[in-house]
Amino acid sequence: MSRIGKHPVPVPAGVEVALEGRQVRVKGKLGELSQILPPEVEVVLEEGRILVRPRDDSRRARAMWGLSRSLVANMVNGVASGFEKRLEMSGVGYRAIVEGKILTLQLGYSHDIKFAVPEDITVETPTATSIVVRGADKQRVGQIAAEIRSFRKPEPYKGKGIRYAEEVILRKEGKKK
C-alpha cells in the first residue's frame, strides 16, 4: 500500500484545479502546469482537496498511486509558492552574471560559457559566486540546475567547481612524496 498516496493534496486559496479525464491542470499566481496521469489511477476533486486513488489492486497501480499523488502535490506547490535550487561556485576567477535571459559563466576555461535560460525559469545571481534557479515546475528547476552544474562539476582535490548549496564534497588527500 502506498503511504504517500493515502494523503489528500490540499488546494490553497488562489489555485485553480481542472480535471479532464486523466489530465490534471493547475493554475496559480506563478503559472499553469498540466500533467497526464497514468491510466492505473483516478483523480477526484472534493472539498478543496485532490484525492488520488488506484483503479485496482495490482502492483503497478499501487506504484503509480504514490507517484501520481507526488506529481499532483508538486504541481500545486509549484504554482502556489514555486521551487528553487541554489548553486555555489568555488574557484579562483569563477563568476556568474545574468544579462536578460543569458547566464554568462566564467569557469576557468579559455572562453565564457553562455547559457540561454528558458522562459519558464528565472535565474538570479545574488553574488558573483552564487546562482539561484527558480520556477513553478520542480522537474524543470532541477534539470536546469543540473545543466548549469555540469559545466564544471566539483572536483574532490581542491573542491573547485559548481556545487549545490547543500551538497557536501568529500575531499581527497593529494599526492605524497
Residue 52's domain spans which residues?
A: 9-80
Q: How far apart are CA 89 and CA 108, in angstroms?
A: 11
CATH number at residue 136: 3.90.930.12
* Domain match, 54 and 96 both: no
| pLDDT tens digits, one per residue of 65-100 | 999 999 999 999 999 999 999 999 999 999 999 999
For 129, residues 6+ apart whose C-beta sits below 8 A from its C-beta are 88, 89, 90, 94, 95, 96
For helices 138-149 and 59-80, angle between their N-to-C axes, nearest 10 degrees = 80
Residue 154 lies in a domain: yes
Which of 80, 99, 114 is at the close of a domain?
80
Question: Would you say residue 115 has pLDDT above 60?
Answer: yes
Beta-ladder partners of 162: 89
- Mark whether 50 and 89 lie in a shared domain: no
Residues 103 and 56 in one domain: no
Task: Answer yes or no: is pLDDT of 10 > 90.
Answer: yes
pTM over 0.75: yes
Domain final residue, candidates 54, 80, 106: 80
Q: Has residue 3 been placed in a domain?
A: no
For position 84, what pLDDT does the model report?
96
Claim to verify: residue 94 and residue 23 sit in the same structural domain:
no
Residue that is last in its domain, among 80, 104, 123: 80
Say what the pLDDT of residue 2 is.
Answer: 64
Question: Is it the case that residue 24 has pLDDT exceeding 60?
Answer: yes
Alpha-carbon distance of 174 to 63, in angstroms, equals 46
Residue among 97, 116, 98, 117 at smallest CA distance from 106: 97
Residue 95 lies in a domain: yes
- Domain membership of residue 124 (yes or no) is yes
Three-state DSSP class for residue 161:
strand
Mean pLDDT of 105-127: 95
For residue range 120-167, list pLDDT tens digits in order: 999 999 999 999 999 999 999 999 999 999 999 999 999 899 999 999
Residue 177: pLDDT band with limits 50, 70, 90: confident
Our count of domains for the chain comes to 2
Q: How far is CA 26 from the centre of its chain?
A: 17
Report if residue 19 sits inside a domain: yes
Residue written as cell 576567477?
Answer: 93
Q: What is the residue whose three cell numbers read 486513488?
A: 53
Please check whether residues 113 and 95 belong to one and the same domain. yes
Compute the distance between CA of residue 30 and CA of residue 162 in angstroms, rounded to an integer. Answer: 28
Looking only at Cα atoms, what is the longest distance across the chain?
71
**What pLDDT is stored for residue 3 in this prediction?**
86
150 and 91 in a common domain: yes
